[in-house]
Structure 1
């Protein structure tokens, strides 16, 4: 059960803590957007225990940087962050969310994502640094339509 973790929009003051958390989970930080407007954090009360972000490209988005601090894993915080990201996507009029993963295919399959061939990925996503340089070609690309 999750206790004391409050979800809120990320601010620029959260950048260093987000980078530290992502680095601890071996997730990329070099291409973290200047604006964290579409990032969320979980605080307990002043420590960031989790984060997730969306990069918006018209009516599609790239889900990225879903990370939970090791001492908070297994308590449902990842699911909470994921659901908050889906709600944010709906609020922004997103119709499909893409992601690139090396390690979390099973988690995202349970969330309704399906594997997508690289050639079928929309151009806007294919031009992201996640797609072109940061994630290996062997990474799994997944998509979920938003109702």
Structure 2
């Protein structure tokens, strides 16, 4: 990871196509990205080409980490972990107490980052208005999901 030729900045609506492309490359959903009540960050090379993305859906006291994606050509270089820490640091500075996420396949990765498996019902109770929670409810996916929490305090 060469940070001297890269930057991380908060994303805006102009970045929608970049984010959607990164998410498609990593087979993640682009539904509700940059919706009201969310924040996203992009890691980019000096020429503006995207390296990775991370997002937060903001609640009251808790936030939902989502859309952690790194371009295939940059995977394995620590960018995913760097972006996750960037978002968690922002959540901590903003006063959030807990970060949650859904992950059915990467539990070992999230455990290394100090996330603990919790009941999906806990996540839903903490973030009932989060776009991803509402979408998963609508699609009937909540019973098949796995929820994770990290204390930020």
- Normalising by structure 1, we get a TM-score of 0.89
**Paired residue for 2:147, among 119, 137, 141?**
141
Bigger fraction of residues in helix: 2
Distance across 2 between alignment mates of 1:117 and 1:83? 23
Q: Which runs of 5+ in 2 are unaligned?
A: none
Distance across 1 between alignment mates of 2:104 and 2:2? 26
Residue in structure 2 matched with residue 11 of structure 1 by the alignment: 12
Cα distance, 1:30 vs structure 2 = 1.9
How many residues align? The count is 147
Render the CA deviation track for 1:94-118: whole Å, top value 9, x for unaligned: 0000100123211111000000112
CA contact (8 A) 2:56 2:87 kept: yes
Residue in structure 2 matched with residue 103 of structure 1 by the alignment: 105
Say which SS state the counterpart of residue 53 (structure 1) adopts.
strand
CA contact (8 A) 1:9 1:37 kept: no
CA contact (8 A) 2:12 2:34 kept: no
Correspondences of 1:1-147 after superposition (within 5 Å): 1-3=1-3, 4-35=5-36, 38-45=39-46, 46-127=48-129, 128-133=133-138, 135=141, 137-147=143-153
Deviates most, 126-135 or 44-53: 126-135
Render the CA deviation track for 1:21-57: whole Å, top value 9, x for unaligned: 1111111112223358611110012111100011110
Cα distance, 1:11 vs structure 2 = 1.7
- Normalising by structure 2, we get a TM-score of 0.86
CA contact (8 A) 1:113 1:142 kept: yes
Closer, same or farther in 2 for the Cα pair 1:37/1:8, shift >3 Å? farther
Q: Which runs of 5+ in 1 are unaligned?
A: none
Say which SS state the counterpart of residue 18 (structure 1) adopts.
helix
